[in-house]
């Protein structure tokens, strides 16, 4: 046997599992090919293994094991040079030899494969071979507290069933439902004579699902653990993988194997992970196809139940979903008849959905509350999607001749897109985003007090009505940081400062539309919502908001809305200290009474202008105008913008959004024909299937003439 060699496949990092016939199988980890000579010293081989697997060079901490040919039940340990020579001698006739390498600190238990056979609906025994230690599952500790006791509240019966399922997996037992419907649910342990039992039912007061009774004591201790693994079945594992694939479509079988071993203590081989992943992918595709068909129906129903509304679903040439635009007639009517010609454009990243984005156009009512006018569901926030959204928005404003003012964060080419689609409009920048960008530019070493103070000066520069006030605010910033002041001057103040902005934004500098939409949807959608659910959640919230604000406005008795009336009262403070001098006709001069110094301002009642510029910017008379109006005996409300009056505010909410029946019925029940959703190509080079999945069992062809394999009678070249 001198000079004998074998080709060893050295594997490490995996786990041994026991099959139904008692044979051992090694899953997971990594493998390397090594040629082992019979004359090689064991220590040299162990050092090579340490280098190969990036371990510390301590050969005494490495163990090597292998199987004898034809025996997959007993592992043979290599502990000295003689054992190494025997391993070579026993396997010298084999093409390759499997060698299993590990460090002594990594002693791995042999886990029976029953849970995974059940997971894939394969026949296997539930028994654990004698002498084999069962490895403890690594279920999240939080699952131990999924069921806490009597009085625990769940949103609905489904929420309760999900929590009970995880709790049983964590505790290691199985259960069955004695009764389960939308009103009540009762479950008990499946073990004979076990006393564990839970009962929950719907609360009439809060419409929640409440645990009423719980006997949390098991009398089947001998069965605990083994039976609990059965709950980790194919359906449950598929559901876990499906939720993961929503965020990571390229979730690979190898990652599934590693994640389930680490997070749940579940061992599966590559093929099992690949198979369950295919189930999850199929369910996702079926769900998306149904959703796509549902969208067609939903758009039609929006326009049928809400006449004058617009719902545009656009698809690519291959009939895949691209984007959906929605504008309800009640919103359009409210904007055109009662809102300022001012629209804020926001891209909303939903907290409950990583798959979809919302593009929204919101206005403001007489109370300075946001009023959504139109929105769209898209896959991402891009310049093309924004240009498409603005084009749809322009089509619904076709009959409106009013010049619009848009405000946005200026990203994704919005400034250019707005000017291209709405040629006569003006475009400003949102103050909140400007301040965020400003803080990001400041040096990290700068004290927090200085950063906050400069941000306040920037806010003052934005609200400044005259250039002198703007310059003063910038100089206050320069006293702290010259670079910060230069950044402010280079940030195009004509887009965000009242002192230079050409459009009409009525002193409204920012919008909280993104937070509002996220609040609306997050409260109602606990998990990844579909496009139909997102749109309908917005519809329901709009419907409720319109009704609530209409009822509130009907109780108002003042000419101005409450908040604007309060602003006017605050503005009149200090009017007594001013003196009015009539200049000519409708033009007046306002000074401090008694010649106490201070600025002199000119007020024109015909053009609604004051030299302080506050009246022109805000739409409400400034203190100088209020003094003049009182002096001339005029009515102050006649000099306020109509958009702040109660009558105009009521017009915003005069129309209702109608309900849409059968929204959540499935596509099959509605008789819909689905189309395929968009399936974007993942970045990077496409992965090929592993070699083990590319193997195909081919039937060998036998020649009927010469009886040899590999050819047929026609191509036979054997002599006659």
Domain holding 72: CATH number?
3.10.20.90
Tell me if 481 is assigned to some domain: yes
Q: Any idea what the CATH number is for the domain that residue 364 is in? A: 3.30.420
Say if residue 379 is in the same domain as residue 489. no
pLDDT at 41 over 50: yes
193 and 219 Cβ atoms separated by less than 8 Å: yes
Tell me if 599 is assigned to some domain: yes
Output the CA–CA distances (angstroms, integers) from residue 285 to 242, 245, 251, 282, in the order listed: 10, 11, 15, 5
Which class for 654: exposed (0-12), middle (13-18), buried (19 or more C-beta within 10 A)? Answer: middle
Tell me if 674 is assigned to some domain: no
Say if residue 424 is in the same domain as residue 320. yes
Say if residue 425 is in the same domain as residue 526. yes
**Res 554: pLDDT:** 92
**Res 318: pLDDT:** 58
Say if residue 519 is in the same domain as residue 589. no
**Res 682: pLDDT:** 43
Tell me if 132 is assigned to some domain: no
**Final residue of a structural domain among 108, 128, 157:** 108
pLDDT at 284 over 80: no
Say if residue 249 is in the same domain as residue 363. no
Say if residue 399 is in the same domain as residue 531. yes
Arithmetic mean of pLDDT, 623-639: 90
Say if residue 424 is in the same domain as residue 447. no
**Res 472: pLDDT:** 93
127/129 Cα distance (integer angstroms): 6
Tell me if 426 is assigned to some domain: yes
534/542 Cα distance (integer angstroms): 12
Arithmetic mean of pLDDT, 537-560: 90
Say if residue 568 is in the same domain as residue 471. no
Tell me which of 66-70, 176-180, 356-360, 442-446 is least confident. Answer: 442-446
Say if residue 160 is in the same domain as residue 251. yes
Tell me if 681 is assigned to some domain: no
Q: How many domains does the chain have?
A: 5
368/372 Cα distance (integer angstroms): 12
**Final residue of a structural domain among 618, 639, 660:** 639
| CA quadruple 589, 594, 595, 597: dihedral sign | negative
Tell me if 69 is assigned to some domain: yes
Say if residue 398 is in the same domain as residue 527. yes
Say if residue 420 is in the same domain as residue 440. no
465 lies in which domain range?
432-495
Strongest mean pLDDT among 145-159, 244-258, 340-354, 478-492: 478-492
**Final residue of a structural domain among 639, 660, 681:** 639
157/154 Cα distance (integer angstroms): 7
Arithmetic mean of pLDDT, 292-302: 80
Tell me if 301 is assigned to some domain: no
Helices (H), 227-347: 234-247, 253-264, 270-305, 329-338
Say if residue 450 is in the same domain as residue 374. no
């Amino acid at each position: 046997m001198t000079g004998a060699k074998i080709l060893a496949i050295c594997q490490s990092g995996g786990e041994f599992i026991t099959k139904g016939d008692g044979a051992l199988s090694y899953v997971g980890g990594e493998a390397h090919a090594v040629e082992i000579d019979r004359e090689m010293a064991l220590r040299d081989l162990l050092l090579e293994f340490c280098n190969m697997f990036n371990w510390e060079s301590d050969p005494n901490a490495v163990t090597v094991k292998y199987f004898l040919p034809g025996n997959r039940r007993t592992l043979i340990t290599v502990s000295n040079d003689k054992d190494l020579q025997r391993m070579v001698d026993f396997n010298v006739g084999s093409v390759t030899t499997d060698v299993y390498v590990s460090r002594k600190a990594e002693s791995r238990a042999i886990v029976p494969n029953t849970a995974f056979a059940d997971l894939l609906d394969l026949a296997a025994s539930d028994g654990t071979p004698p002498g084999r230690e069962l490895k403890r599952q690594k279920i999240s500790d939080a699952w131990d507290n999924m069921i806490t006791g009597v009085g625990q509240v769940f949103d609905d019966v489904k929420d309760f069933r999900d929590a009970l399922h995880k709790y049983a997996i964590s505790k290691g037992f199985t259960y069955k439902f004695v009764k389960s419907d939308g009103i009540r649910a009762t479950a008990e342990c499946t073990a004979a004579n076990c006393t564990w039992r839970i009962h929950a039912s719907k609360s009439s007061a809060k419409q929640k699902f409440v645990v009423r009774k719980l006997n949390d004591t098991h009398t089947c201790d001998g069965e605990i653990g083994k039976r609990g693994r059965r709950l980790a079945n194919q359906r449950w594992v598929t559901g876990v993988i499906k939720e993961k694939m929503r965020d990571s479509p390229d979730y690979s079988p190898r990652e599934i194997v590693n994640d389930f071993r680490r997070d749940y203590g579940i061992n599966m081989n590559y093929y099992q992970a690949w198979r369950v992943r295919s189930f999850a992918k199929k369910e996702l595709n079926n769900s998306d196809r149904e959703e796509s068909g549902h969208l067609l129906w939903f758009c039609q129903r929006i326009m049928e139940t809400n006449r004058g509304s617009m719902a545009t679903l656009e698809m690519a040439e291959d009939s895949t979903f691209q984007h959906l635009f929605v504008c309800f007639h009640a919103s359009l009517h409210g904007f055109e008849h009662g809102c300022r010609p001012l629209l804020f454009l926001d891209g909303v990243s939903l907290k409950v959905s990583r798959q979809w984005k919302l593009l929204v156009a919101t206005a403001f009512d007489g109370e300075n509350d946001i009023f959504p006018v139109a929105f769209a569901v898209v896959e991402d926030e891009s310049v093309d999607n924004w240009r498409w959204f603005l084009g749809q928005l322009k089509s619904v404003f076709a009959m409106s001749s009013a010049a619009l003012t848009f405000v946005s964060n200026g990203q994704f080419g919005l400034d250019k897109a707005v000017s291209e689609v709405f040629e006569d409009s003006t475009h400003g920048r949102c103050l909140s985003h400007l301040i965020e960008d400003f803080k990001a530019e400041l040096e990290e070493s700068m004290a927090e007090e200085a950063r906050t103070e400069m941000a306040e000066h920037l806010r003052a520069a934005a609200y400044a009505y005259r250039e002198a006030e703007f310059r003063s605010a910038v100089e206050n910033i320069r006293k702290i940081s010259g670079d910060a002041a230069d950044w402010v001057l280079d940030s195009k103040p004509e887009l965000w400062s009242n002192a230079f902005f050409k459009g009409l934004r009525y002193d409204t500098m920012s919008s909280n539309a993104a937070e509002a939409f996220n609040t609306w949807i997050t409260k109602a959608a606990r998990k990844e919502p579909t496009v139909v659910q997102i749109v309908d959640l917005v519809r329901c919230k709009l419907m409720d908001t319109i009704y609530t604000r209409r009822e509130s406005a009907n109780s108002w008795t003042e000419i101005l809305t409450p908040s604007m009336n309060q602003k006017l009262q605050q503005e009149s403070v200090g009017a007594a200290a001013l003196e009015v001098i009539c200049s000519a006709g409708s033009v007046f001069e306002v000074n401090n009474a008694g010649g106490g110094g201070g600025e002199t301002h000119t007020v024109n009642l015909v053009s609604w202008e004051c030299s302080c510029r506050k009246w022109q910017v805000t739409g409400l008379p400034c203190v100088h105008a209020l003094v003049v109006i009182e002096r001339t005996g005029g009515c102050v409300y006649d000099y306020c913008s109509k958009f702040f009056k109660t009558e105009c505010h009521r017009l915003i909410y005069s129309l209702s959004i109608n309900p849409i029946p059968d929204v959540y019925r499935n596509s099959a029940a509605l008789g819909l024909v689905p189309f395929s959703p968009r399936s974007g190509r993942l970045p990077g080079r496409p992965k090929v299937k592993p070699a083990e999945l590319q193997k195909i069992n081919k039937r060998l062809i036998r020649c009927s003439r010469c009886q040899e394999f590999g050819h047929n009678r026609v191509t036979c070249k054997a002599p006659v």
